[in-house]
Amino acid sequence: MQRASRLKRELSLLTTEPPSGITCWQSDKGLDEIQAQILGGADTPYEKGIFNLEIIIPERYPFEPPQIRFLTPIYHPNIDSAGRICLDVLKLPPKGAWRPSLNISMLLTCVQLLMAEPNPNDPLMADISSEYKYNRQLFLLNAKEWTEKYASQ
């Protein structure tokens, strides 16, 4: 019951006061699945892109983090081809930084920040990571290309 009321409160807040560049709504599949969109940030290779995400709320939420994945393909060192995201707040301790005090809005903001500032030292995609580290121009070109191909409306 706590979980349901917390989720309703979070979704209501996400609807009335969404973080800048993020929209979120409940999926028609029920309370356990949420859809979100993140707009690519200005001055990033993802600028003007609209990226769709799926958020699955676990049974033990908020004691377990939601599973968030990109449905829109994105060229990024910390996001793999299945849309999985390598981000410490999406994992439980000791390897992760998830805490029950975090919420979906904060997580989506963290994902948005990761898009703008990749972490090449903790990659899911080693080849993209080394490109980001050693050939930034090529990385930016490829990321822009993918954004135009997959995230343009």
pLDDT value at residue 1: 66
What is the helix, strand, coil percentage profile of the chain, to 5?
35, 20, 45
Of 22, 24, 86, 104, the catalytic one is: 86
Rounded Cα gap, residues 115 and 16, in angstroms: 24
Instruction: Indicate if 86 belongs to the active site.
Output: yes
Location of structure tokens 């690519």: 40
The per-residue pLDDT for range 13-31, each reduced to its tens digit, is 998 999 999 999 988 887 7
Choice among 23-37, 83-97, 138-152 with the minimum mean pLDDT: 23-37
pLDDT value at residue 96: 94
The length of the chain, given as a count of residues: 153
Domain-by-domain residue ranges, the chain?
Answer: 1-151
Could you tell me which CATH class the domain 1-151 is placed in?
A: alpha beta
For 116-140, the DSSP string reads HS--TTS-S-HHHHHHHHH-HHHHH
Sign of torsion, CA 109 112 118 121? positive
Rounded Cα gap, residues 91 and 97, in angstroms: 6
What SS3 state is found at 38? strand
